[in-house]
Amino acid sequence: MKSQYENTNLKKSVKQGLYDPIFEHDACGVGMVANIKGKKSHSIVSQGLEALSNLAHRGASGADPETGDGAGILIQMPHDFFKSELSSMGCNLPDPGQYGVGMAFLPSDKHQTASSRSLVEECVSKQGYDLLAWRQVPIDPEKIGVLANRECPSITQFFVTPKERAPENIDRDLYLLRRTIESSIEAAALESADDFYICSLSSSTIVYKGLLMAEQLEDFYKDLTESSLISSFALVHSRFSTNTLGSWKLAHPYRFIIHNGEINTVRGNTNWMSAREQVFESTDPDLNIGNLIPVIKPGQSDTAALDNALELLLATGRSIEHSMMMLIPEAWGDHIPMEQSKKDFYEYHSSMMEAWDGPALVIGTDGIKVCAVLDRNGLRPCRYLVTTDDVLVMASETGVIDVPPEKVLYKERIYPGRMFLLDTKKGELVNDRDLKASLADSKPYGEWLSNNRIFLEDL
């Protein structure tokens, strides 16, 4: 007998009737808690989860009141926690930075799960990695809704390490590995290929997310209650999808970002990226560019598309702040007062990347630095405060964590077109002016424009 919450469209967001996945947008609650000095603790994770619970009203549920639109958390790699877990499985984990962890949603069908694992293992070996272990993530299905439980994937972690010495940029290699795995899964045309999804594959961060309500995340993922699961920052997200369907893989955080708002230029951004793919090239003879195309996978949400674009820029060696400044520039036209070096930066990069315009608040991380930007429309709030004990709390509203007034050092907001950077390695906050001045002055962008720019009227 069918459940009262039966929804056959929940599992696969395919184009049908008036629904098209290209129109996926969100209006959500985002938050971040961090120790400015980079001190890792479980307290930061707990405070992140507290902030998430207090953003529950910005999430949503459907006919099943216990199934949310999505919730999740992104933290730094909890090395000691995973070292202990794998040790109990008889596996020795290498030093930090020498391995990557994949957080994966596999098909719930046992045969499809086995097929997916085989393809992953084959790709891992071909890419020059050893697969150290598979770990079934401990969960409590009774803590979530009927619909979420029915569509719940097999949630698994896989640990990989290079067969030889770890490359200088292991996360770039892991990006290529993930795209190779995704291409292999698609080429195999598995019956449940659409249910396969890698939430994160990184040496520095990991994502726990799902088709959950904000307050369910900690109870569902038992790992999140472990005291040895530590991080110096936590990015959290409570999803409210607008005119869309909920699904496990569309929950935030994505691999690098959380986002409140919508990217209204996403179709144009995707088309321009597709056009530029034809001239992609690499000096690495072992790199199969075909595995990276399309950079922006079809049928995703606008946030997932932005995340795809960001990870490509990071893989090319750009910093998180450089990449975010390229993707989400402030207003910089001819009649806007601005330092010439900064205007040169924007004009130079506009030839290779169109602006991803919202309204949108985006917070992204490379695992060490966290960069927040409010797009030039400025229609999504972002408030933050810094405490006397070096804790940064940032969210789409104030009051997500109870902080005694005497501990508040100062409060501020991010203004339209402005950026904000936390560098946990250096233990410092960088404001918009200093951040952009440093990037704009890092290369002779004005000289490059003068020497290479061609105007149509001059032809």
Q: Which residues are catalytic?
A: 28
Compute the CA torsion angle 254, 259, 262, 264 (nearest 10 deg). Answer: -70
Cβ-proximal residues to 111 (8 Å cutoff; 6+ apart), any chain: none
Residue 155's CB is within 10 A of a number of other CB atoms, namely 22
Cβ atoms 7, 284 nearer than 8 A: no
The C-alpha atoms of residue 356 and residue 300 are separated, in whole angstroms, by 16
The C-alpha atoms of residue 235 and residue 76 are separated, in whole angstroms, by 10
Between β-strands 360-365 and 369-374, what pairing exists: parallel, antiparallel or unpaired?
Answer: antiparallel
End-to-end Cα, the chain, rounded Å: 71
Residue reference for tokens 């998430």: 52
Cβ-proximal residues to 387 (8 Å cutoff; 6+ apart), any chain: 393, 403, 407, 408, 409
**DSSP string of 36-60?**
TT---BHHHHHHHHHHHHTTGGGS-
Show the tokens assigned to 403: 């902080």
The C-alpha atoms of residue 315 and residue 171 are separated, in whole angstroms, by 8
Residue reference for tokens 């098209």: 20
The C-alpha atoms of residue 426 and residue 29 are separated, in whole angstroms, by 28
Cβ-proximal residues to 214 (8 Å cutoff; 6+ apart), any chain: 29, 52, 53, 55, 56, 59, 68, 71, 238
Q: Would you say how long the chain is, in residues?
A: 459
Handedness of CA 341, 346, 349, 350 (dihedral sign): negative
H-only helix segments in 299-427: 302-315, 320-327, 340-350
Cβ atoms 25, 244 nearer than 8 A: yes
Show the tokens assigned to 70: 């999505």
Chain centre distance of CA 196: 17
